């Protein structure tokens, strides 16, 4: 937990540097939801392995006080890979509730619930879950994707921590990723963005595949779509195994898409 506290504090400091340049988030609405997919090379720790991920979440805002929101939700996610490693085979369904606070250019949340996924070690399919997270974007990230000023610095920080899979139900996992890009060229909503990123993951059980640090430098093409963005790119990824100290590097190719929605209650009446 000390590591997580340090990560959260560092992320708040990073995002606050750009808060003055960020437009306010949209007004809170009644049915927040999101869908995202990601596919690409795992990196040098798992050579020749390609991983695919998808997640869908739908919530209902049942209480609001200023920038605070209480959101019951249902979520489902899927992770799989081309080599069939057990640690990349996850498909939890979660029913829970989370408390969110919007913070200028980001959002912080924490919550809990019940997660449905079979644990191969015990055969149990229902587990308690708890989690916390933080996300922030800066420097007019959305405008960098669709047009506007000829120069922009889109970036983001993302933290996720909690009991995240029923396949390892008592293992608390934590992830942090910070990314910074420069919009080099823009044409009709398509942006070319060289970028760099840093990331770290760790857990309480000491799994080798969960305790890694990585950095990468690459370039991606980003296009805004209704409610989100789609991107594709290439990068050189450098990875360090935290338990063994082993260093490796390899090129990776990736495609990501994210869509979010937030229809108002009045729009549904």
Instruction: Tell which wins on pLDDT, 95 or 121.
Output: 95
In which element (H, E) is residue 175 found?
strand 172-181
**Residue 149: per-residue pLDDT:** 52
Residues 144, 155: Cα–Cα separation, whole Å: 10
**Between 113 and 152, whose confidence is greater?**
113
Asked if residue 23 has pLDDT above 90, the reply is: no
Cα 60–63–66 angle (5° rounding)? 120
Q: Considering only CA atoms, which of 156, 90, 154, 159 is closest in space to residue 119?
A: 90
Give the span between the Cα atoms of 252 and 105, in whole angstroms: 30
Residue 87 — pLDDT band, cuts 50, 70, 90? confident
Is residue 138 within 8 Å of residue 15, measured between CB atoms?
A: yes
Residue 20 has pLDDT above 70, yes or no: no
Which of 266, 252, 247, 257 has the alpha carbon at shortest distance from 45?
Answer: 247
Q: pTM of the prediction?
A: 0.80
CA distance 217 to 199: 12
Q: What is the pLDDT of residue 188?
A: 83
Give residue-wise pLDDT tens across range 135-170.
999 865 444 444 445 578 999 999 999 999 999 999
Asked if residues 51 and 40 have their Cβ atoms less than 8 Å apart, the reply is: yes
Concatenated DSSP letters for 84-151?
Answer: --GGG-B--EEEEEEEEEE-SSEEEEEEEEEEE---TTT---EEEEEEEEEEEEESSHHHHHH-SSS-
Contact call for residues 236 and 217 (beta carbons, < 8 A): yes
Helices within the chain (DSSP H only): 2-16, 141-146, 265-268
Question: How far is Cα of residue 150 from the mean position of the Cα atoms in its chain?
Answer: 27
Residue pair 203/211 in contact (Cβ under 8 Å)? The answer is yes
Among 51-55, 183-187, 242-246, the range with the most confident prediction by mean pLDDT is: 51-55
Q: What CA–CA distance (Å, rounded) separates 109 from 102?
A: 9
Q: Alpha-carbon distance 8 to 203, whole Å?
A: 16
Nearest to 231 by CA among 191, 195, 186, 199: 191
CA distance 209 to 49: 13
- Please list the residues that pair with 107 across neighbouring strands: 102, 135
For 40-66, what is the mean pLDDT?
92
Nearest-angstrom CA–CA distance, 180 and 160: 18
Tokens of 250: 């390899």
> Does domain 2-19+39-268 correspond to CATH entry 2.40.160?
yes
């Amino acid at each position: 937990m000390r590591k997580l506290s340090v990560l959260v504090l560092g992320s708040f400091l990073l995002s606050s540097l750009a808060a003055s340049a960020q437009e306010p988030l949209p007004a809170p609405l009644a049915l927040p939801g999101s869908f995202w997919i990601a596919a690409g090379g795992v990196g040098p720790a798992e050579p020749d392995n390609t991983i695919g991920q998808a997640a869908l979440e739908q919530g209902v805002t049942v209480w609001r006080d200023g920038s605070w929101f209480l959101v019951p939700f249902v979520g489902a996610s899927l992770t799989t890979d081309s080599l069939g490693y057990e640690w990349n085979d996850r498909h939890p369904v979660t029913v829970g509730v989370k408390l969110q606070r919007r913070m200028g250019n980001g959002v912080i949340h924490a919550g809990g619930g019940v997660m449905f996924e079979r644990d191969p070690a015990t055969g149990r399919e229902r587990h308690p879950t708890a989690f916390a997270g933080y996300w922030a974007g800066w420097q007019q990230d959305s405008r960098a994707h669709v047009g506007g000023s000829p120069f922009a610095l889109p970036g983001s920080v993302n933290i996720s921590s909690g009991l995240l899979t029923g396949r390892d139900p008592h293992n608390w996992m934590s992830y942090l990723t910070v990314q910074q890009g420069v919009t080099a060229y823009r044409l009709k909503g398509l942006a070319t963005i060289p970028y760099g990123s840093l990331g770290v993951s760790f857990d309480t059980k000491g799994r080798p595949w969960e305790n890694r640090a990585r950095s990468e430098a690459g370039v991606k093409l980003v296009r805004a779509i209704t409610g989100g963005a789609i991107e594709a790119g290439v990068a050189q990824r450098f990875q360090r195994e935290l338990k063994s100290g082993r260093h490796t590097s390899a090129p990776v190719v990736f495609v990501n898409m994210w869509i979010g929605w937030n229809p108002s209650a009045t729009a549904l009446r």
